[in-house]
């Protein structure tokens, strides 16, 4: 065979292999690549955000940005929530992108049932804010979500040069705990049940930890409205107030309303067919429940003829003595001494171990043999389990939580607010009674009326 022929055969063989491989890589029956498959996919449009405008006040909250910013972003957040950390990064980028046209307002919404360190972190941020370092602490906490214990937070305070004595006092100051309760109450009132929850000029962003494009779509929409308002003569510093002025107020529109029942023999005080029924889920080791206990006593004194308070147990898993304390309270209930035991347990939250509970029972003059037997009985344990199951069914996941004529309050509402709401409920009840509604049907009717739309029954 001539050399030239041999070379031709070899070249042909190589070309055949190369072409064959290239063709086979297209798959059976393919002759050329699909241009559509190679083209980049079109980006999905962001989901439509709710057009409802909520009247969310910003006064008294940490604010980052100019007072005349055209767009106000309010975030309900939790320092231990990983999705909030993701949203935090997005919001930081938005602040860079929009500059002084965007301001950010922080509302504390710690989900204490699943994030036991979130409330302490929120208190740390607010205490740092008392010394002008809120946002520095805010950023630090999100950057260190696995180190939110008190010692670590004090370390951050030291790093920022804060007065540690004052910082520790502020962390323990009820004033800052009240701010957290105020924010969580507000969040619940505008329909917040998880974090992060973001409102842009009063409108809820669909999906809290959403892609930055979704944030920008709503911000740009609201920015255009704000710019038009400014062109019409509205001062930039008044844009947010004008936008939310006619918005939906927190409260009825955001709070779930449902008829929540309780066992007839549950611990309670007040008339059986009261004008206002309050069902409270509480935890004897929870410090916030302890703070709410005087409110319960005020209810007994101020509304003895009109309000019925029913107690249900919700011992949280992070409180190691809470369930044993609940068993002690229910064992005391079996001897008619629930409320004295209730008061003693909240007054002595540092002494809820088994031996201390026995000493408290002796102090109350209980039959100790019966108390010890009841405290560890299957019946008492089953009652606590039933309370916990009822809490989950009623969407209660934190303590204290109260249902007031079917409306949920998470946390301990300020006395003035609770009193005003109770007085409104009493006025509604008086009206229904005057119309002939029977006392035994009053609770169900009040809840049904609260659930009905505005055009419902009169």
CA distance 186 to 328: 35
Say if CB 202 and CB 55 are below 8 A apart: yes
Q: What is the mean pLDDT of residues 144-172?
A: 97
pLDDT at 24: 36
Q: How confident is the model at residue 23 (pLDDT cuts 50, 70, 90)?
A: very low
pLDDT at 9 over 70: no
Structure tokens, 340: 């004295």
Closest by CA to 106, choosing from 148, 153, 65, is 65
* Nearest residue to 194 via CA among 184, 179, 182: 184
Which one of 25-29, 43-47, 364-368, 394-398 scores highest in mean pLDDT?
A: 364-368
Residue 4 has pLDDT above 60, yes or no: no
Over 70: is that where the pLDDT of 455 sits? no
Q: Does pLDDT of 193 surpass 80? A: no
Percent with pLDDT over 70 in the chain:
86
Rounded Cα distance, 413 and 400, in Å: 10
Give the Cα separation of 295 and 58 in Å (integer): 27
- Cα gap 128→241, rounded to integer Å: 28
Q: Which one is predicted more confidently, 232 or 11? A: 232
- pLDDT value of position 188: 79
Band (pLDDT 50/70/90 cuts) for residue 451 is low
Average pLDDT over residues 408-426: 81
The pLDDT confidence band at residue 189, using thresholds 50, 70 and 90, is confident
The number of CA neighbours under 13 Å toward the Cβ of 146 is 0
| pLDDT tens digits, 381-400 | 999 999 999 998 888 888 89
**Quick one: pLDDT band at residue 19, thresholds 50, 70, 90?**
very low
Q: pTM for the whole thing?
A: 0.52
Do residues 64 and 95 make contact, with C-beta atoms less than 8 angstroms apart?
Answer: yes
Q: Which residues pair with 123 in a beta bridge?
A: none
Strand-strand pairing, 197-200 and 102-108:
unpaired
| Domains located in the chain, CATH noted | 63-245 (3.40.30.10), 268-451 (3.40.30.10)
Least confident span in 70-84, 157-171, 181-195, 224-238: 181-195
């Amino acid at each position: 065979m001539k050399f030239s022929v041999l070379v031709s055969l070899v070249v042909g063989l190589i070309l055949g292999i190369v072409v064959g491989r290239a063709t086979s890589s297209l798959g059976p029956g393919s002759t050329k690549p699909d241009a559509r498959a190679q083209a980049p996919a079109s980006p999905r449009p962001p989901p439509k955000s709710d057009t409802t405008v909520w009247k969310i006040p910003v006064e008294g909250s940490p604010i980052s940005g100019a007072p005349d910013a055209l767009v106000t972003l309010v975030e309900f957040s939790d320092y231990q929530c990983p999705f909030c950390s993701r949203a935090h990064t997005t919001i930081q980028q938005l602040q860079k992108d929009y500059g002084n046209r965007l301001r950010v307002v922080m509302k504390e919404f710690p989900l204490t049932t699943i994030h036991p360190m979130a409330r302490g972190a929120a208190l740390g941020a607010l205490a740092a804010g008392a010394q002008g370092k809120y946002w520095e602490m805010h950023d630090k906490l999100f950057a260190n979500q696995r180190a939110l214990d008190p010692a670590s937070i004090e370390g951050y305070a030291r790093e920022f040069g804060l007065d540690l004595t004052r910082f520790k006092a502020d962390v323990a100051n009820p004033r800052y705990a009240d701010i957290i309760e105020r924010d969580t109450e507000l969040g619940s009132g505008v329909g917040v049940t998880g974090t992060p929850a973001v409102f842009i000029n009063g409108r809820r962003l669909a999906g809290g930890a959403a892609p930055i494009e979704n944030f920008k779509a709503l911000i740009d929409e609201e920015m255009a409205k704000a710019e038009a308002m400014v062109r019409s003569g509205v001062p930039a510093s008044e844009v947010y107030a004008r936008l939310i002025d006619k918005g939906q107020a927190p409260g009825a529109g955001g709070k779930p309303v449902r008829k929540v029942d309780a066992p007839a023999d549950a611990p309670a005080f007040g008339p059986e067919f009261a004008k206002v029924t309050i069902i409270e889920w509480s935890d004897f080791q929870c410090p916030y429940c302890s703070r709410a206990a005087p409110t319960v006593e005020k209810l007994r004194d101020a509304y003895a003829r009109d309000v019925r308070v029913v107690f249900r147990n919700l011992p949280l898993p992070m409180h190691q003595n809470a369930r044993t304390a609940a068993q002690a309270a229910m064992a005391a209930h079996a001897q008619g001494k629930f409320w004295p035991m209730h008061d003693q347990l909240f007054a002595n939250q540092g002494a809820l171990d088994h031996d201390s509970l026995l000493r408290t029972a002796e102090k109350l003059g209980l039959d100790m043999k019966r108390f010890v037997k009841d405290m560890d009985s299957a019946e008492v344990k089953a009652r606590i389990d039933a309370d916990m199951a009822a809490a989950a069914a009623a969407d209660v996941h934190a303590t204290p939580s109260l249902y007031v004529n079917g409306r949920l309050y998470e946390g301990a509402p300020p006395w003035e607010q609770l009193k005003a709401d109770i007085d409104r409920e009493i006025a509604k009840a008086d009206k229904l009674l005057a119309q002939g509604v029977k006392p035994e049907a009053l609770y169900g009717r009040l809840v049904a009326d609260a659930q009905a739309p505005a055009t419902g029954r009169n």
